[in-house]
Structure 1
Amino acid sequence: MAATVELRFSAQPEHVRTARLVAAAVARRAGVDEAVLDEVRLAVGEACSRAVGLHRSYGITAPVKVVLSEEEKTFSIEVGDEVPAAGSAGRGPNAAPGGRNSMAEDLDADSDDEMGLAVISGLVDDVEVTSTEDGGVIRMSWPTTPVTLLP
């Protein structure tokens, strides 16, 4: 039986901690190995921080979306933002109110983004990053072991 928890929060850094805590609790319940829970927390924190940063940089007021899914032998987390893929719909950092103004700031943001994705890739064996005109999604998954209830 697949179980899904969906979390939406405003793009504020203080909400990232809550997303990490919820992800760890749901992962534990799904049967993710205790030794891996710190990696789950760190990866979710990094992905959510990235989404929050993108929303704030681009002036997007929509919430960050986190979907936690438990399937037969897998626990997955999708962290979604609503920032269109580069070049889509003519959006860019300078299109946002209060957006970055210089190319140097754009390069710094790109470097931070690359670093965040590298950290996630180092923490999670099964990670997929997609980006469309509707936004981006980082999908991460971990194996689960069935939880045995004692009689």
Structure 2
Amino acid sequence: MATVELRFSALPEHVRTARLVAAAVARRAGVDEAVLDEVRLAVGEACTRAVGLHRSNGVDMPVRVVLTEEEKKFSIEVGDEVPETPSGPGARAGDEASGHPAPGASGESGSEEGEDEGTMGLAVISGLVDDVEVVSGPGGGVIRMSWPTTPTVELP
């Protein structure tokens, strides 16, 4: 099982680098060429969401991306360091997909733009990736995505 780990400062300009690395590693792992744009877009959405969560919650830890090549499967985990808080100022925008309400979902004031962005990003990811899981906890959140691979045949 081959693994590539990428950590980057929560700055929007680093999302492009994460997308390019993910596409290159996915290609090498044997993800179908027709699906690489979906991988790129899904990673971009997940990283953009993590960067937004870090910036809006004042977290200066890096965003982490783990790319894992397994037998017949390529997985990507995009993790943030924003602690889970179901309501209030530190609430995670868009976490209703993982069972946690977004800020403002129960009438409290929250950043409506942040809610829309987080929710939209998860909706885009769910539309692109068949195997996706969003998990959040006290240490932060993770979006796990995976795609099937076909082994590359090496010619003699």
Q: 1-side partners of 2:128 and 2:86: how far apart?
A: 29
CA distance 1:41–1:74, change in 2 (3 Å)? same
Q: 1:121 aligns with which of 100, 122, 126?
A: 126
Check whether the contact 1:84–1:91 (CA below 8 A) recurs between aligned residues: no
Q: Which residue of 2 aligns with 1:51?
A: 50
Q: Which residue of 1 aligns with 2:90?
A: 92
Following superposition, the deviation at residue 91 of structure 1 comes to 6.2
Following superposition, the deviation at residue 26 of structure 1 comes to 0.1
Q: Which residue of 2 aligns with 1:150?
A: 155
TM-score by length of 2: 0.86
Q: 1-side partners of 2:154 and 2:132: how far apart?
A: 30
Q: Which residue of 1 aligns with 2:22?
A: 23
Segments of structure 2 that go 5 or more residues without pairing to the other structure are: 92-107
Following superposition, the deviation at residue 106 of structure 1 comes to 2.0
Aligned residues: 140
Task: Indicate the RMSD between aligned Cα atoms, in angstroms.
Answer: 1.6
Q: 2-side partners of 1:121 and 1:150: how far apart?
A: 37
Say if 2:66 is the partner of 1:67. yes
Segments of structure 1 that go 5 or more residues without pairing to the other structure are: 94-101
Q: 2-side partners of 1:113 and 1:128: how far apart?
A: 15
Q: 2-side partners of 1:28 and 1:111: how far apart?
A: 32
Q: 1-side partners of 2:31 and 2:71: how far apart?
A: 12
User: Which structure is higher in helix share?
Assistant: 1
Q: 1:110 aligns with which of 104, 115, 118?
A: 115
- Does 1 or 2 have the higher relative contact order (CA < 8 Å, sep 6+)? 1
Question: In percent, how many aligned pairs have the same letter?
Answer: 76
